[in-house]
Amino acid sequence: SVALKKKVEHSIQEKQKVLNHFKKEHGNAKLGDVTVGQVIGGMRSMPGLLYETSKLHHLDGITYRGKDLYQVKEQSPKAPGGSEPLPEAALWLLLTGEFPSQSELQEFQTELFNRGQIPAEIEKLIKSFPKTMHPMTQLSMGVLACQPLSKFAKAYHDGIHKSKYWDPTFEDALDVCARVSRIAAIIFHNCYGDNNKIPTADPALDYGANFAKQLGFNDKTFWELMRLYIVIHADHEGGNVSAHATHLVGSTLADPYLSFSAGMNGLAGPLHGLANQECLKFLLDLQDKLGKTWTEDDIRQYVKDTLASGKVVPGYGHAVLRKTDPRFMCELNFADQFISKDDNLVNLVKACYRVIPNVLEATGKVSNPWPNVDAGSGALLMHYGLNQFDYYTVLFGVSRAFGVMAAQVWSRGLGLPIERPNSFTLEHLIKKVEHD
Ligand code: CMX
């Protein structure tokens, strides 16, 4: 959309002025001290990244351009007759700080639909991935298969001036967001169906509905869930593994396809995006073991046994959050609005929420005993029949594209340099601390 590109260009130019002035005036200002514990402990809470699209607050949760998820949900344009926010409106918000007008939105939806087309030979390549390959591996490879289409890589090769890097990054970022749902739909049918019979996308539908339709789901409430799901998983500031991996690889001027694929490899880890798959498995194992007549005491004992066997309780805890994840609350609210009160799995999610935080708190070591986004998403997807749970992280990946790709446009727009923090061997670290 010409309007969107103009808006992004204008706000980047304005922000560049602020950044340059700030860097000149305050480049040496201190943001805090780095402790040995942080160096050894995964850089937890260490300031180290400029990331424009979203900011996480340890109690309020994620804000997209200053708006918390409840505000996003309330203020976002919706599908006709719908109540959930639209992913393409969230992408516009992440890129510009504002929601699009109705006419801007319609034009943008058409544009994303057109950008989503994948050349036949690349579709054929993605369709040739083996059924048994994990869907996340297929996602990462599917994105890489589209890399030859990168406009940034071509522009860089042709000698583009560095002040213009953001422009082909913007083009690629929108293409990646548009294409990733098509790649994901192909993967779904590669793994669980017939990839010669993928339902066609409909230009009259919005992004979330079209994605659900291509997966083979025609229930309009599921389309609403997909819209909500994509919006709430899109961005979680810059330090989480998928965002940081995308940002890090992008800082080398690797194009958005290469960087996003790297981010997806990080999302595939069980402590990050794969936790939603693990979480559903946890709930189903619990149901298997206890039947559908479980009690809260049963859950308590099951969680204690899990901890005693040296495993984490998936869907609980967070590196930054210190309260129930608002994304989980959005899922619960959706369940209350749309899902009948006799869904045993959804009721189990709610019972776990009543029981698990106390058990985790009692260990005395878990910094955040509250549920994160993954604690609820699987049960909602199961309700609508999406029960291929090794696919769930792919859904997360489709959504995460919106945040990390919008952020990459801004990183190139602000001319952020290649990342290169300092590392130590343990011996160097010990020497340094003992000498100081
Ligand atoms: N179950 C059991 N133990 C847990 C736990 C959980 N859900 N969450 C934290 N702990 C443990 C840690 O393993 C750690 O134990 P050790 O000291 O023995 O190594 C201790 O509590 C302290 O960890 P922490 O400071 O609370 O948590 P971290 O910041 O190190 O890790 C996270 C955060 C998310 C990896 C961790 O809470 C976890 O493993 N949760 C389960 C997996 C999960 O739900 N991941 C999804 C996160 C959401 C996202 O990716 O956005």
Q: pLDDT per residue over 102-157, tens digit each?
A: 999 999 999 999 999 999 999 999 999 999 999 999 999 999 999 999 999 999 99
DSSP H or E stretch at residue 264: helix 256-267
**CB contact at 8 A, 408 and 169:** yes
The CATH number of the domain covering residues in 275-387: 1.10.230.10
Q: Is the CB of 242 under 6 A from ligand 1?
A: no
Of 185, 203, 187, 186, give the one whose Cα is nearest residue 112. 203
Beta bridge partners of 62: 56
Active site residue 272: yes
pLDDT at 1: 76
- Residue 47: pLDDT over 80: yes
**How far apart, in whole angstroms, are the C-alpha atoms of residue 47 and residue 26?**
15
Q: Is the CB of 374 under 6 A from ligand 1?
A: yes
Indicate the DSSP class of residue 423: -
pLDDT digits over 165-200, tens only? 999 999 999 999 999 999 999 999 999 999 999 999
Q: Whose CA is closest to atom 47 on ligand 1?
A: 272
pLDDT at 139: 98
Percent of the chain at pLDDT above 90? 96
Q: Is the CB of 18 under 6 A from ligand 1?
A: no
Region 36-47: mean pLDDT is 95
pLDDT digits over 360-393, tens only? 999 999 999 999 999 999 999 999 999 998 999 9
Q: Is the CB of 362 under 6 A from ligand 1?
A: no
Predicted ipTM? Answer: 0.98
Active site residue 318: yes
The tokens describing 47, both together, are: 């300031």
pLDDT at 167: 98
**How far apart, in whole angstroms, are the C-alpha atoms of residue 92 and residue 283?**
36
Active site residue 374: yes
pLDDT digits over 222-244, tens only? 999 999 999 999 999 999 999 99
Estimate the crossing angle of helix 392-413 against helix 241-250, to 10 degrees. Answer: 40
pLDDT at 236: 96
**CB contact at 8 A, 255 and 150:** yes
pLDDT at 275: 86
Instruction: Find the range with the poorest average confidence among 15-29, 60-74, 232-246, 281-295.
Output: 281-295
Between strands 67-68 and 61-64, the pairing is: antiparallel
pLDDT digits over 333-351, tens only? 999 999 999 999 999 999 9
Q: In what order do the strands lie in the sheet with 54-57?
A: 54-57, 61-64, 67-68
Residue 218's Cβ-count burial label (10 Å; 0-12, 13-18, 19+) is exposed
Q: Whose CA is closest to atom 41 on ligand 1?
A: 314
pLDDT at 277: 86
Q: Whose CA is closest to atom 44 on ligand 1?
A: 315
Which region holds residue 100: left if phi is over 0, alpha if psi is between -120 and 50, else beta? Answer: beta
Q: Which CATH number fits domain 2-20+46-270+390-413: 1.10.580.10, 1.10.3130.10, 1.20.1270.360, 2.40.170.20?
A: 1.10.580.10
Q: Which residues contact 386 (CB under 8 A, 6 or more apart)?
A: 215, 217, 222
**How far apart, in whole angstroms, are the C-alpha atoms of residue 218 and residue 222?**
8
Of 195, 213, 215, give the one whose Cα is nearest residue 203. 213
Which of 352, 366, 404 is the pocket-test mutation for ligand 1 (most atoms within 8 Å of CB)?
Answer: 366
**How far apart, in whole angstroms, are the C-alpha atoms of residue 35 and residue 294?**
45
pLDDT digits over 257-278, tens only? 999 999 999 999 988 898 888 8
- Residue 436: pLDDT over 90: no
Q: Is the CB of 319 under 6 A from ligand 1?
A: yes
Determine the distance separating the centroid of ligand 1 and the alpha carbon of 383, expressed in angstroms. 27
Q: Which long-range contacts (CB under 8 A, 24 or more apart) does 1-6 make?
A: 1/104, 1/107, 1/108, 1/111, 3/104, 3/107, 4/92, 4/95, 4/96, 4/100, 4/104, 4/108, 5/167, 5/170
Mean pLDDT value across the chain: 96
Q: Is the CB of 325 under 6 A from ligand 1?
A: no
The residues spanned by each domain of the chain are: 2-20+46-270+390-413, 275-387
Which of 241, 365, 392 is the pocket-test mutation for ligand 1 (most atoms within 8 Å of CB)?
Answer: 365
Q: Under DSSP, is residue 318 helix (H, G, I), strand (E, B) or coil? A: coil
pLDDT at 276: 87
